[in-house]
Amino acid sequence: MTGYIAPLRLRLDAGALISNWRWLAERSGAAACGAAIKADGYGLGAAAVMRRLASAGCRDFFVSNWGEAAELEPLLEDGMTLSVLHGVREEDMAQALSSRARPVLCTAAQVARWRAANGGPCDLIVDTGMNRLGLDWRGEVATLAANLNLVTLLSHLASADEDTALNALQLSRFRAIVATVPAQRYSLANSAGICLGPDYAFDVTRPGLALYGGIASLVAVPHIRQVVWPQAQILQRRRLLEGDTIGYNATFRATRDHEVAILNLGYADGYLRAFSGRGVARSDGTPLPVLGRVSMDLMAVDVSERPDLSEGDWIDIAYDLREASAQSGLSQYELLTGLGRRYDRIWA
Ligand SMILES: *Cc1c(COP(=O)(O)O)cnc(C)c1O
């Protein structure tokens, strides 16, 4: 649809993305700072994110599966790496063997599959207590890893965004693995892990959320900038009289007259019904509260304070991730990855 201008858009702040990466890189100390760009770069667009971070000096990228890797492999330049966090299924082998991306092997069966195929350089993930993906830290990791051409050995923190004993426990388990399993590099920390301090950094860090403006730790608050700024166009302006209701199931009833703007944005765009009656839009600093229930493609905001706003005007949707998370009960991750396909994504 060339030339089509969508009635909703994400303003994406490239300067903020790069500034966030630079801060995380600095906090990573001597470790290289990579980037998790799975789930289409947390909803921003993986290729666009990868290009911008590469230009800032980021070299190590992480996606979940080989569908994501296929889209990004053409962007790999000398010295850049792309790791596929879910490893290789049988169905992935043909692609993986001819790819410049490499698998993060997760299970004994994946290790056997990769070794039998003489797969070449690979990463390996060890589970140290999250009990999600990876070889069990209590198992024969060194034996399983023997003779692999192991580039990066990873583990992943379950609760790095909390002050909990599990962090130190995972760290000590990972150190024991590092001492017994040879690899070129070791990697443990996600965004929140980077904020836990230099002990967690090892050789490569893997931030995701914080790159995109998410706050995973209070330490990060003064340094991490908002990257994603949703905007929607007014489709209709109308008057709501005292006693009128608005939206599905009439959940808002006016106790006075209101002026209302109907915006071209809804839960199919990731602005979920949890924002009904709670979310806020903004225009030049004026808060415009969401009235009634968010529909699939539409929502209503109160513009009583702003007689100047009319059909066709663009409205900002307040999307500070911590505030929006508190309003909606959705995680900062969900707020980003749910944003959907209908926005024009405009980098500035
Ligand atoms: C998603 C993911 C990351 C990034 O985590 P954030 O919390 O978004 O920083 C890092 N490592 C692994 C293995 C992941 O799955």
Last residue of a domain, which of 159, 190, 213? 213
Does some domain include residue 259?
yes
For Cα atoms 110, 113, 118, give the angle at the middle one, nearest 5 degrees.
125
In a domain? residue 127: yes
Mind spelling out the 3-state secondary structure of 41-76? HHCCCHHHHHHHHHHHCCCEEEECCHHHHHHHHHHC
Taking only the tens of pLDDT, the chain with its 348 residues reads: 579 999 999 999 999 999 999 999 999 999 999 999 999 999 999 999 999 999 999 999 999 999 999 999 999 999 999 999 999 999 999 999 999 999 999 999 999 999 999 999 999 999 999 999 999 999 999 999 999 999 999 999 999 999 999 999 999 999 999 999 999 999 999 999 999 999 999 999 999 999 999 999 999 999 999 999 999 999 999 999 999 999 999 999 999 999 999 999 999 999 999 999 999 999 999 999 999 999 999 999 999 999 999 999 999 999 999 999 999 999 999 999 999 999 999 999
Q: Which CATH number is 38's domain given?
A: 3.20.20.10
Asked whether residue 333 is domain-assigned, the answer is: yes
Atom of ligand 1 nearest to the CA of 333: 8
- State whether 109 and 172 are in the same domain: yes
Over 257-318, what HEC string results?
Answer: CEEEEEECCCHHHCCCHHHCCCCEEEECCEEEEEECCCCCCCEEEECCCCCCCCCCCEEEEC
Task: Please tell me the distance between residue 112's alpha carbon and the centre of ligand 1 in angstroms.
Answer: 25
Residue 67 domain-assigned (yes or no)? yes
Q: How many domains does the chain have?
A: 2
Does one domain contain both 197 and 236? no
Last residue of a domain, one of 187, 213, 239: 213
Q: Which two tokens stand for residue 103?
A: 């698998």
Pairing of strands 81-84, 102-105: parallel
69 and 130 inside one domain: yes
186 & 279 share domain: no
Query: Looking at 213, 248, 274, which one is the last position of a domain?
Result: 213
Q: Is the CB of 36 under 6 A from ligand 1?
A: yes
Cβ(191) to ligand 1 under 6 A? Answer: yes
238 CA distance to ligand 1 centroid (A)? 44
Tell me the residue ranges of DSSP E strands in the chain.
8-12, 32-33, 35-36, 60-63, 81-84, 102-105, 122-127, 135-136, 150-154, 185-187, 204-205, 228-240, 245-246, 252-253, 258-263, 280-283, 286-291, 299-302, 314-317, 344-347
205 and 268 together in one domain: no
Residue 73 shares a structural domain with residue 185: yes
Ligand 1 pocket check for 206: Cβ under 6 Å: yes
Q: Which atom of ligand 1 is nearest to the CA of 42?
A: 8
- Asked if 202 and 233 sit in the same domain, the reply is no
Is there a single domain that holds both residue 299 and residue 233? yes
Which pLDDT belongs to residue 1? Answer: 57
Q: Are residues 173 and 44 in the same domain?
A: yes
pLDDT of residue 2: 76
Q: Are residues 204 and 236 in the same domain?
A: no
Residue 220, domain member (yes or no):
no
240 CA → ligand 1 middle, Å: 46
The whole model's pTM is what? 0.97
| Gap between the Cα atoms of 324 and 1, Å rounded | 32
Expressed in angstroms and rounded, the spacing between residue 239 Cα and the centre of ligand 1 is 46
Does the residue 10 lie in any domain? Answer: no
Q: Is the CB of 190 under 6 A from ligand 1?
A: yes
Residue 262 lies in a domain: yes
List active site positions. 38, 248
Same domain? 90 vs 209:
yes
Determine the atom of ligand 1 nearest the C-alpha atom of 156: 13
With respect to residue 26, please indicate whether it lies within any of the assigned structural domains.
no
> Any residues with CB less than 8 A from the CB of 139 and at least 6 apart, and which?
none
Could you tell me the residue range of the domain that residue 258 belongs to? 228-347
Question: Which domain CATH number covers 251?
Answer: 2.40.37.10
AA letter at 55: S
Residues 260, 143 within the same domain: no
